[in-house]
Amino acid sequence: MTDNKEVMNIKDQKEIKKRDDVIGWDDLFMGIAFMAGTRSKDPCTQVGACIVDQHKRIVSVGYNGMPEGCHDDKFPWGKDPNDPLKNKHTFVCHAELNAILNRHGADIRGSTIFVSLFPCNQCAKLIIQSGLKEIVYYCDKHAEKPSTIASKMMLDAASIKYRVYVPEKKVILVDLAKKFVSLMTTSAEIEP
């Protein structure tokens, strides 16, 4: 025999539906690439990369920065065209390089790399030699530069696909303070 309260609970449960407005895969992985980029000390360009395997598992992330042991305060962040030793490009590791090296021995052949800026020619070589099969990029602002043209020549020859990221959601907001409050509230509601 069921009382009215129990009937109401069953009715309520039937009306609970799954969320349909979840974040899409591309939004998630590009969002993580951007999050990684926020770690960069580069005052001009912060680039992030996220490598995802064929099962949509995140294998690695990286961002542009000085090599390990090369102190951020001792190496140059400027772009002196006359002195390579005062030019960051001589020293900085790009996000793609760091993401590839950060994979902890995981097999990344056949994986996709999400990156906020189209890979340069040096990174294209790494991507090809690492067996990555696809690049999803956010911005191609250096498309006219020889380094990007060379990059695409190599990627095309190696049959690496590349496509521009098309956001499903316009904004991904992670308010860490509010998320904590939200999680605590939700947990309190579902605990028996």
Annotated binding-site members for Zn(2+) = 94, 120, 123
88 makes contact with Zn ion (CB under 5 A): no
Region of 3-11, 13-21, 118-126, 158-166 interacting with Zn ion (CB under 5 A): 118-126
Nearest to 137 by CA among 150, 151, 154, 125: 151
Contact between 120 and Zn ion per CB under 5 A: yes
Q: Does 99 bind Zn ion (CB under 5 A)?
A: no
**Which CA distances in Å does 138 have to 21, 49, 109, 190?**
22, 11, 22, 39
The residue from 6, 15, 68, 96 that is catalytic is: 96
Per-residue binding letters, 11-50, with Zn ion (x by CB under 5 A) = ----------------------------------------
Nearest distance in Å: CB 107, Zn ion: 22
**List of long-range contacts for 77-86, beta carbons under 8 Å, 24+ apart:** 77/41, 77/42, 77/43, 77/44, 79/44
* Nearest-approach distance from CB 52 to Zn ion, in angstroms: 19
Q: How far is CA 189 from CA 10, 11, 16, 62, in A?
A: 17, 18, 14, 37
Cα–Cα distance, 74 to 41 (Å, whole number):
12
Q: Which of 99, 123, 126, 155 binds Zn ion (CB under 5 A)?
A: 123
Q: Does 96 qualify as catalytic in the annotation?
A: yes
CB-wise, 30 or 49, nearer to Zn ion? 49
How far apart are CB 153 and Zn ion at their closest, in Å? 15
Hey, which residues between 124 and 153 contact Zn ion (CB under 5 A)? none
Given 66, 94, 98, 138, the residue binding Zn ion (CB under 5 A): 94
Output the DSSP codes for 126-138.
Answer: HHHHTT--EEEEE
Distances (CA, A) of 83 to 76, 80, 115: 11, 6, 29
Residues forming the active site: 96
Binding site for Zn ion (CB under 5 A): 94, 120, 123
